[in-house]
Every structure is written in C-alpha cells, then in structure tokens.
Amino acid sequence: MPSCNILLIRHGITDYNRQGRIQGQLDIPLCDQGRRQAQELAQRFKPGQIQAIYSSDLSRAKETAEIIARAIKLPVEEYRPDLREICFGHWQGHTMAEVAQLYPEELALWRADQTYSAPHGGESFAQMTERGWKAVQEIAASHPGQTVAVVAHGGLIKGILCMANSMDLSQRSQLVLDNASYTTIEL
C-alpha cells in the first residue's frame, strides 16, 4: 500500500502560550497573533497539495485548521478528540510557578518522570502519545498515497514525532515546534 504523507501542524499562538500558562485540554482560542500566524502558514499551501485535513477538536487547533481549509478550498474532514493536547488535570490554567506553589510534591514526582507520571486528574505523556499515534495511523491508513494535514498541539506532535522516528519519549525535549509550524512524516 502506498504511504501517506502527514503534515503535522501546530496551532497558532494563544494568550495562554504567551503567558506561559498550561493549556492542556482547556479550550483556549487563538489570539489575533495566532490567527495571523495561521493565515501566513495557510499561504504556503496550494489547492490540491493537501487531500484531507483533520484537526483536534479544541478551538485553537480547529480555527487554525479552518483558516488553512479556506485557503486551499478544502473542508476539514473531521475534528477528533484523540488529537487533543495532553491533559494536565488540575494544573491546567496555571503557570509552572503557580503549580510549584500549589502542588510542590506532585510537581517533584512529575519532574522525576515526565514520560510516565501525570498530574492529578491528568494523563501521562506516554498515554497521550499512544492515543495520538493510534489516531495518526488510522488517518494514514484511510489516505494511502495522499498528503494529509493534521492540526494538533505541541506535546502531541512531539509524541508522534518520537514514535515515527523511533526515538525514546524522554528525548522529546530535543524537538522544537513553533506555533503555526509544520513537520512532515511518512506513514
């Protein structure tokens, strides 16, 4: 079966990104700068270059996907909850400095093992990566020989890149993903 080219696209910037707040699965919209970033990114793609667009169902990714979809005259195929960012539980909405004050013991445990530990009410990086990798594999299997855009989140994309490149999940900090950037993998 022919492979599928997946464009992993990180959503545009949000006010929470700029403030250093943990978004996780909170539904934070793009800010004006994030919309401009998404519009600039969309101009890099031409109609016919991408055959399908999928997105996380969180508004910052949805809006980024919709801006790209309008530019290339293609509808968004599906908004998928399995493409969401990692759930940081009760840390969501806080800065890391606030988390250090509110949950110091929990933060220490997480810092000791950022791959397999999770904040209370959240999920681990490994759990998020497993669901995201499965989603991308399903998408690729549905589009052999095509190029598909997947609009998602920094953490999820890092996990997928680790899996696609046979990297240990603990190596994800070596990956740098700017807002409104994309990386291509072949599955």
Phi/psi at 26 (nearest 5 deg)?
Answer: -65, 145
The model's pTM is 0.95
Which of the four pLDDT bands, split at 50, 70 and 90, describes residue 1? confident
Q: What is the mean pLDDT of residues 54-75?
A: 98
Catalytic residue check, 143 = no
pLDDT one-digit tens code per residue, 104-124 = 999 999 999 999 999 999 999
Tell whether the model's pLDDT for residue 33 goes beyond 80: yes
Tell whether the model's pLDDT for residue 34 goes beyond 80: yes
93: burial class by Cβ within 10 Å (0-12, 13-18, 19+)? middle
Catalytic residue check, 66 = no
Q: Catalytic residue among 63, 66, 77, 85, which?
A: 85
Neighbours of 103 (CB within 10 A): 18
Q: Catalytic residue among 11, 63, 106, 143, which?
A: 11
Q: Report d(CA 48, CA 92) in Å as an integer.
A: 38
pLDDT given for residue 90 in this prediction = 98
Most distant pair of Cα atoms in the chain: their distance: 52
pLDDT given for residue 26 in this prediction = 98
3-state SS, one letter per residue, for the chain: CCCCEEEEEECCCEHHHHHCECCCCCCCCECHHHHHHHHHHHCCCCCCCCCEEEEECCHHHHHHHHHHHHHHCCCEEEEEHHHCCCCCHHHCCCEHHHHHHHCHHHHHHHHHCCCCCCCCCCCCHHHHHHHHHHHHHHHHHHCCCCEEEEEECHHHHHHHHHHHCCCCHHHHHHCCCCCCCEEEEEC
Which of the four pLDDT bands, split at 50, 70 and 90, describes residue 146? very high
Which of the four pLDDT bands, split at 50, 70 and 90, describes residue 79? very high
What average pLDDT does the structure give for the chain?
A: 97
pLDDT given for residue 40 in this prediction = 98
Domain 5-186: homologous superfamily in CATH: Phosphoglycerate mutase-like (3.40.50.1240)
Strand order in the sheet with 76-80: 76-80, 52-56, 147-152, 5-10, 182-186
Tell whether the model's pLDDT for residue 42 goes beyond 90: yes
Which of the four pLDDT bands, split at 50, 70 and 90, describes residue 67? very high
Which of the four pLDDT bands, split at 50, 70 and 90, describes residue 49? very high
